[in-house]
Amino acid sequence: MPAEERGEVCFRGWCVTKGYFDDPEKTAEALDADGWFRTGDVGVIGRDGYLRLVGRIKDMIRVGGENVAAADVEAILLKHDAVKQAVAVGMADARLVEVVAVFCELKTGKQTTEQEIVDYCRQHLASFKVPRRVTFVNDWPMTGAGKIQRYVLKEMLTEAAVI
């Protein structure tokens, strides 16, 4: 990839596994024919030659034909005066396949509305990256390692659509 362009981080060498034990399907997903290991990480090689990890492929939201990095939307939201924490996920859409939905935790003593968050994003993001739904939360679904469980947030969106 050219400098400053996003792509999947892959590597190969003597230290790379030969595959998953008794699981040729997972091995084929993780290793290509030339032995490159696909990490699932999205990275950018800067003009300085250093690799920066900027997200996970699974955290990409496919809006129509465009890829939206959840981290890009989250970075903008974290600049909002009232937002303490933000997580962007894909929400099913009949026309575009997915659209951006965000979950926000507000800073203590701060208030804002869904419309204010959307308007803020319109000022700072391309239109296809603007969230179509904003949900305010105080408690996050967490893993034992302390990471936010994005799949649980996506399930919450699906459950809300059914109700």
What CATH number is attached to the domain comprising 116?
Answer: 3.30.300.30
Considering 6-10, 93-97, 127-131, the range whose residues carry the highest mean pLDDT is 127-131
Q: Which residue has the higher pLDDT, 33 or 55?
A: 33
Express each pLDDT in 45-93 by its tens digit.
Answer: 988 999 988 777 778 888 998 889 898 999 999 999 999 999 999 999 9
> What pLDDT does residue 36 have?
92
Is 1 within a domain?
no
Residue with tokens 């926000």: 104
Closest Cα partner for 92 from 160, 148, 147, 163?
A: 160
CB neighbourhood size of 63 (10 A): 22
**Pair 120, 64 in one domain:** yes
pLDDT above 70 coverage of the chain, percent: 98
Q: Are 147 and 112 members of one domain?
A: yes
Range of the domain at 13: 6-49
The answer as to whether 89 is a domain residue is yes
> Do residue 23 and residue 95 come from a single domain?
no
In whole numbers, what is the pLDDT of the chain averaged over residues? 90
Q: Where are the beta strands (DSSP E) in 12-82?
A: 37-45, 51-56, 60-63, 66-69
Residues 38 and 94 grouped into a single domain = no
Residue 162 CA: distances (Å) to CA of 91, 120, 159: 13, 29, 5
Q: Is residue 102 part of a domain?
A: yes
- 92 and 131 in a single domain? The answer is yes
Q: Which two tokens stand for residue 45?
A: 């090689």
Same domain for 22 and 64, yes or no, is no
* Whole-number percent of the chain with pLDDT over 90: 52
- If one counts the domains in the chain, the total is 2
Beta strands in 5-82 (DSSP E): 6-11, 37-45, 51-56, 60-63, 66-69
In whole angstroms, what is the distance from residue 13 CA to residue 113 CA?
A: 51
Residue 161: is its pLDDT beyond 80?
Answer: no
Shared domain for 10 and 69, answered yes or no, is no
- Domain identity same for 123 and 76: yes
CATH of the domain at 42: 2.30.38.10
- Each residue of 95-125: pLDDT tens digit? 998 999 999 999 999 999 999 999 999 999 9
Q: Is residue 54 in a domain? A: no
135 and 93 together in one domain: yes
Reported as a pLDDT band with limits 50, 70 and 90, residue 136 is very high
